[in-house]
């Protein structure tokens, strides 16, 4: 929509996207989204609050915007005159409105920027008000929601406006340190100092459909580079493809999305007081009939069957809801790894897993579940989010291994995997990993350092693929079946070795013959192993996790061999 279209008493309005002539009342009923082409016009702060929060729940913070003119700036008009005109034209004291509210019953502190007020620019008063909103969220221990709409820092306040980027970011950092959730909603436009600070350093970044966000505006980029920009440059959809935002949501779904995020943020693992150290892990599941007798190479072929349920299948069926979060914040959104916020038997959890696919096209688009460094960094970002929000983690492992390509090596594949493993060893929240298909090498372990490691009956887990092992240690790759048997990679083998804590039985003859039954079995197994972990004190949880993997050292293996 044309943002300059007047809203007075006019009955009709022309869409800036498709030029359709629209009945004004119909357009307002559609939240100012063109029913013909879907273009989203800008909303002012009062309209945005009316759209997002529960009716009657908003209470403005008592803080008043301070009067500032720090450098006596004058262009065509003195700066105070511009402020007076902006206040008269918008009815607002400054370019942001802050207060407390509820969203479908979930409490939050919300700050909504208004582009009408000097382009939503970030000045000392705006920075102060948003900082106070963050401090109120910290004091009340409720999530902070910031709805951004800004052209950048306020030039009329000189370098002091630049300092607001650090001021507000410090307030967001305090929320992170204290585990208080924060969510930003990017609306059109969000540029400059706002984009490069609190708009993108919150826990979750949601972009409204069609919103544009970037550090430099397109006009500046064209002038500096002399290059034409690609179609859709800096739009929400562009940002999603390049890993910069968690999700893109149309305006009519924003309130529901925000409600889901706030509910998950408020329903994390409750802190547990110190207490006696619980007993060790539950006894492993008994071996399934015939599992020990099945040939290892046959099991490898079953684990790779394209009909086996994928991570997205499990998220659709075994879990009760799912909001996918995208991107590594560094420039990519690896399709081989999916993750986000889910619900399991009424409990919010964070789920992350490898994604393959069922068709050749799906497999190729997902790189056969082989994660790039961007995929591992996306998983890392989500694991850290789970730690801040106190959410239990479920990982679903199904990968031949990490991406072995040249590009992956150039982007630091080894370091990305190493950082995931390190983070999981210290994660202060329960982790349950399930090997659902192939568990290949370090790419699998990057999601499988957990308090409980489960494995489907016909899954495999190995240091290397049978083909790779055969190519190195046998005369040729045709010895892969022999290598599979030697590697001891089946669920029965790994249960005996103590690598997995439980084997999840599959419907006969294998999961791909009855995917719903397989997914239900995984749901029940995850719940059985996760629920007892929720009552374990954090220090004990981490200590036991480290002890679990310490026993795979030579001393631990020798002690177990002696016991046998």
Of the spans 195-204, 224-233, 267-276, 543-552, which averages the highest pLDDT?
Answer: 195-204
pLDDT tier, 560 (very low <50, low <70, confident <90, very high otherwise): low
Q: What is the mean pLDDT of residues 246-251?
A: 94
Residue 105 maps to a domain: yes
pLDDT tier, 268 (very low <50, low <70, confident <90, very high otherwise): low
Helix (H) / strand (E) element for 443: namely: helix 441-445
pLDDT tier, 289 (very low <50, low <70, confident <90, very high otherwise): very low
Residue 564 maps to a domain: no
User: How crowded is residue 360: how many other Cβ atoms within 10 Å of its Cβ?
Assistant: 9
Inter-CA distances, 441 with 89, 320, 384, 397, 444, Å: 62, 31, 23, 11, 6
Residue 287 maps to a domain: no
Last residue of a domain, one of 224, 245, 266: 266
Residue 122 pLDDT greater than 90, yes or no: yes
Residue 7 pLDDT greater than 80, yes or no: no
Please indicate, yes or no, whether residues 326 and 472 belong to a single structural domain of this protein: yes
Inter-CA distances, 464 with 224, 438, 480, 488, 548, Å: 49, 11, 11, 11, 22
**DSSP of 391-427:** --EEEEEEESSS--SHHHHHTTHHHHHHHHHHHHHH-
Q: What is the mean pLDDT of residues 366-381?
A: 95
Please indicate, yes or no, whether residues 198 and 103 belong to a single structural domain of this protein: yes
Please indicate, yes or no, whether residues 20 and 112 belong to a single structural domain of this protein: no
Please indicate, yes or no, whether residues 98 and 220 belong to a single structural domain of this protein: yes
Residue 563 pLDDT greater than 50, yes or no: no
Please indicate, yes or no, whether residues 193 and 46 belong to a single structural domain of this protein: yes
Which is it for strands 12-14 and 21-23: parallel, antiparallel or unpaired? Answer: antiparallel
Residue 277 maps to a domain: no
Report pLDDT for 558: 52
Q: What is the mean pLDDT of residues 162-168?
A: 91
Report pLDDT for 15: 73
Total number of domains constituting the chain: 3
Higher pLDDT, 285 or 466: 466
Please indicate, yes or no, whether residues 32 and 1 belong to a single structural domain of this protein: yes
Report pLDDT for 21: 73
| SS3 assignment, position 441 | helix
Report pLDDT for 478: 85
Please indicate, yes or no, whether residues 230 and 370 belong to a single structural domain of this protein: no
Higher pLDDT, 352 or 26: 352
Please indicate, yes or no, whether residues 308 and 405 belong to a single structural domain of this protein: yes
Tell the burial category of 6 from Cβ atoms under 10 Å away from its Cβ (0-12, 13-18, 19+): exposed
The CATH number of whichever domain residue 449 belongs to comes to 3.90.226.10
Please indicate, yes or no, whether residues 34 and 58 belong to a single structural domain of this protein: no
- Taking the model in full, what pTM does it have? 0.85
User: How crowded is residue 452: how many other Cβ atoms within 10 Å of its Cβ?
Assistant: 24
Angle at 301 between CA 368 and CA 465, to 5 degrees: 60
Residue 281 maps to a domain: no
Residue 129 pLDDT greater than 60, yes or no: yes
Which DSSP symbol is given to 457? Answer: T
First to last CA, the chain: 74
Last residue of a domain, one of 9, 26, 41: 41
Please indicate, yes or no, whether residues 34 and 68 belong to a single structural domain of this protein: no
Residue 275 maps to a domain: no
Residue 556 pLDDT greater than 60, yes or no: no
Whole-number average pLDDT of the chain:
88
283-299 burial: b if 16+ Cβ within 10 Å, else e: ebbeebeebeebebbeb
Q: Which residues contact 227 (CB under 8 A, 6 or more apart)?
A: 221
Whether 324 contacts 338, CB under 8 Å: yes
pLDDT tier, 3 (very low <50, low <70, confident <90, very high otherwise): very low
Residue 557 pLDDT greater than 80, yes or no: no
Please indicate, yes or no, whether residues 19 and 60 belong to a single structural domain of this protein: no
Please indicate, yes or no, whether residues 107 and 236 belong to a single structural domain of this protein: yes
Residue 353 maps to a domain: yes
Report pLDDT for 286: 46
Q: What is the mean pLDDT of residues 170-181?
A: 92
- CA 528 to centroid of chain Cα atoms: 25
Q: What is the mean pLDDT of residues 194-201?
A: 93
What range defines the domain where residue 29 resides? 1-41
pLDDT tier, 553 (very low <50, low <70, confident <90, very high otherwise): low
pLDDT tier, 359 (very low <50, low <70, confident <90, very high otherwise): very high
Last residue of a domain, one of 247, 266, 285: 266
Residue 557 maps to a domain: no
Q: Which residues contact 50 (CB under 8 A, 6 or more apart)?
A: none
């Amino acid at each position: 929509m044309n943002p300059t279209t007047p809203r007075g008493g006019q009955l009709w309005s022309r869409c800036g996207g498709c030029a359709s002539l629209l009945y004004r009342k119909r357009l307002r009923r559609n939240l100012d989204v063109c029913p013909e082409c879907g273009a989203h016009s800008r909303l002012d702060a009062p309209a945005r609050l009316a759209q997002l929060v529960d009716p009657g729940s908003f209470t403005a913070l008592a803080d008043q915007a301070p009067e500032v003119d720090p450098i006596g700036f004058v262009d065509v008009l003195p700066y105070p005159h511009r402020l007076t005109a902006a206040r008269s034209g918008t009815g607002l004291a400054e370019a942001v409105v802050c207060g407390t509210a509820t969203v479908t019953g979930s409490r939050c502190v919300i700050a909504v920027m208004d582009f009408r007020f000097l382009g939503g620019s970030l000045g000392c008063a705006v920075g102060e008000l948003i900082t106070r909103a963050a401090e109120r969220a910290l004091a009340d221990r409720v999530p902070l929601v910031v709805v951004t709409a800004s052209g950048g820092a306020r030039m009329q306040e000189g370098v002091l406006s630049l300092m607001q980027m650090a001021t507000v970011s410090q307030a967001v950092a305090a929320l992170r340190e204290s585990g208080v959730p924060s969510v930003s909603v990017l609306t059109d436009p969000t540029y400059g100092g706002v984009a490069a600070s609190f708009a993108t350093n919150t826990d979750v970044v949601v972009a409204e459909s069609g919103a544009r966000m970037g550090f430099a505006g397109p006009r500046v980029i064209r002038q500096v580079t002399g290059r034409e920009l690609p179609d859709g440059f800096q739009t929400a959809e562009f940002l999603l493809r390049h890993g910069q935002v968690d999700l893109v949501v149309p305006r009519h779904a924003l309130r529901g999305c925000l409600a889901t995020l706030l509910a998950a943020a408020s329903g994390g693992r409750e802190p547990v007081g110190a207490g006696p150290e619980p007993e060790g892990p539950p006894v492993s599941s008994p071996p399934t009939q015939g599992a020990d007798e099945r040939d290892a190479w046959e099991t490898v072929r079953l684990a790779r069957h394209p009909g086996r349920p994928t991570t997205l299948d499990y998220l659709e069926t075994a879990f009760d809801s799912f909001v996918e979060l995208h991107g590594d914040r560094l420039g990519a959104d690896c399709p081989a790894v999916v993750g986000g916020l889910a619900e399991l038997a009424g409990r919010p959890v964070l789920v992350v897993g490898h994604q393959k696919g069922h068709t050749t096209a799906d497999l190729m688009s997902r790189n056969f579940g082989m994660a790039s460094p961007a995929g591992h960094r996306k998983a890392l970002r989500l694991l850290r989010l789970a730690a801040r929000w106190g959410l239990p983690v479920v990982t679903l492992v199904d990968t031949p291994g990490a991406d072995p390509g040249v590009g992956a090596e150039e982007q630091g594949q080894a370091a990305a995997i190493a950082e995931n493993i390190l983070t999981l060893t210290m994660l202060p929240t329960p982790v349950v990993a399930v090997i659902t298909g192939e568990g290949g090498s370090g790419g699998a372990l990057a999601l499988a350092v957990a308090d409980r490691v489960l494995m489907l009956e016909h899954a495999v887990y190995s240091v290397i693929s049978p083909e790779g092992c055969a190519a190195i240690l046998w005369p040729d790759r045709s010895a892969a079946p022999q290598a599979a048997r030697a590697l001891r990679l089946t669920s029965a083998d790994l249960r005996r070795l103590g690598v997995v804590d439980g084997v999840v039985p599959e419907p006969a003859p294998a999961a791909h013959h009855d995917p719903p039954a397989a997914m239900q079995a995984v749901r029940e197994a995850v719940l059985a192993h996760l629920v007892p972990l929720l009552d374990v004190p954090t220090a004990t949880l981490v200590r036991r996790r480290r002890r679990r993997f310490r026993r795979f050292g030579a001393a631990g293996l020798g002690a177990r061999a002696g016991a046998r």
